[in-house]
Amino acid sequence: MSAVLPVVADPGVLVRPRVQARASRTPGLAEGLSWARRALAPAGLIALWAATTGAGLIDPSVLPSPAAVGERLGELWAEQQLLHQVAVSLSRAAAGGAIGAALGLLLGLGAGLSRLGEEVYDALLQMLRTVPFLALVPLFIVWFGIGETPKLLLIALATLFPMYLNTYAGVRNVDRKVIEAMRSFGLTGPKLIGQVVLPLALPSILTGLRFALGVSVLVLIAAEQINTSAGLGYLLNAAQLYQQVDVIVICIAIYAVLGLSADLVVRGLERVLMPWRAGVAAR
């Protein structure tokens, strides 16, 4: 008689589903760990700042301690309506960024989908994007005055180019074989663009939006130097005039938070519009 050998199951078959089930039961824990890792670098920088200022290695007139900056933040919140100043700056960045991103998206689609569009205005946009936006400030003041118009136009112009370039590249990189296959199924015109071209170009478009929103915050600093009576630029100019380093640090920190918030908004859009990318990143 031949001996009957026991059947030994592959341990990977038994263990892997259990691990996957355990991982699927704790998505909140993984998300919390991700946020904790992201906070390590800013927390370490603040700790180094507190240690150096507390030890007297840095003169308070050069860089105040975090405690002094926090105390000054409370005073600004109470005395100068800091929330209102932030809201004014945020509205400028959002309005100018929305105008520039929308124009960049339309121009990028036009140049990417049509060779005529590329030939008509691509060269002009490539030349304009190399012009430093700070050089346009005096010209915009002469043309549009010192109101809100030059500020919004400056932000819109600066955010137009990253949106245009990324949209153009995303559309041009769509596989032509896919487009021809969809045309063979009778999908043409706006339906082809909306159901095939835009979804495939969406990663590049959202990358352009991320750059555009970040640039809108950067240009906001320069735009608010144009005769502002409210906003973070107003606080920054007054702090520079009276050499209030703590207020300058607060304004810089708020600008940084606005930039991070813009990036988080685009990340949220990516999760909603492209949920499969979140799954790939989790692996």
Could you tell me if residue 122 is inside a domain?
yes
Write the CATH number for 167: 1.10.3720.10
DSSP alpha helix (H) spans, the chain: 11-25, 27-54, 66-79, 82-113, 115-128, 137-144, 148-172, 176-184, 189-192, 198-223, 232-241, 245-273, 275-282
Q: In this structure, is residue 36 part of a structural domain?
A: no
Per-residue pLDDT at 162: 93
Residues 202 and 101: their CA atoms lie apart, in Å, by 14
Domain membership flag for residue 259: yes
And the tokens for 57?
A: 């290695």
Copy the structure tokens of residue 12: 């990977």
What length is written for the chain? 283
The tens digit of pLDDT for each residue in 214-245 reads 888 888 888 887 777 788 888 888 888 888 89
Total number of domains in the chain: 1
Please give the pLDDT value at position 21: 44
In a domain, 239, yes or no: yes
Q: What is the pLDDT of residues 124-165, one digit of tens each?
A: 898 888 888 778 888 888 888 888 888 899 999 999 999 999
Stronger pLDDT, 5 or 73, i.e. the higher one: 73
Q: Does residue 216 lie within any of the structural domains?
A: yes
52-67 pLDDT, tens digit each: 888 888 888 888 888 8
**Based on the number of CB atoms within 10 Å of its own CB, is 269 exposed (0-12), middle (13-18) or buried (19 or more)?**
middle
Two structure tokens written together for 92: 């400028």
CA dist 152 and 231 (Å) reads 14
Q: How far apart are CA 158 and CA 96, in angstroms?
A: 9
Range of the domain at 216: 84-282
- Residue 59 falls inside a structural domain: no
